[in-house]
Amino acid sequence: QMQLQESGPGLVKPSETLSLTCTVSGGSIIGYYWSWIRQPPGKGLEWIGYMYHNGNTNYNPSLKSRVRISVDSAKNQFSLILSSVTAADTAVYYCAREGVDAVMETNYYDYWGQGKVVTVSS
């Protein structure tokens, strides 16, 4: 059974950089798209971006200037870096796998981490 686990600091100061890592177990990171999704307190879900195992990325334009996702295939991990954070970046950050139904040619998020609460505060 595939499992994803987020790790990293739970408190980040304004203007500094948020850094999280997602460790994938029970399966390989190869061959899939891996994403970060966040949820501010009491609000809905926001897609941050994805990385493919070969390094290809795609980011939400609303965050593109501040975000970078990287992968370490040897460790079966991928990471999120979000720079110049403000209080608006306070959220639960989820990592997730994008699965594919090749017959239907459609995608979905089938495995999620439990979420990492990140607070931006001085």
Partner 1 sequence: DIQLTQSPSFLSASVGDRVTITCRASQGISSNLAWYQQKPGKAPKLLIYGASTLRSAVPSKFSGSGSGEEFTLTIISLQPEDLATYYCQQLNSYPYTFGQGTRLEI
Residues that bind partner 1 (CB under 8 A): 44-47, 49, 58-62, 94, 98-99, 101, 104, 106-110, 112-115
Q: Which C-beta is closer to partner 1: that of 10 or that of 61? A: 61
Q: Which C-beta is closer to partner 1: that of 10 or that of 44? A: 44
Q: Which C-beta is closer to partner 1: that of 58 or that of 83? A: 58
Instruction: Give me the least distance between CB of 13 and partner 1, in Å please.
Output: 26
CA torsion through residues 10, 87, 13, 59, sign: positive
- Structure tokens, 82: 């979000």
Instruction: Give me the least distance between CB of 73 and partner 1, in Å please.
Output: 23
Which of these, 52, 65, 64, lies nearest to 98 by C-alpha position?
Answer: 52
Which of these, 31, 29, 42, lies nearest to 78 by C-alpha position?
Answer: 29
Q: Which C-beta is closer to partner 1: that of 16 or that of 112? A: 112
Instruction: Give me the least distance between CB of 6 and partner 1, in Å please.
Output: 10
Burial class, 105, CB count within 10 angstroms (exposed 0-12 / middle 13-18 / buried 19+): exposed
Name residue 70's beta-bridge partners. Answer: 79
Instruction: Give me the least distance between CB of 72 and partner 1, in Å please.
Output: 22
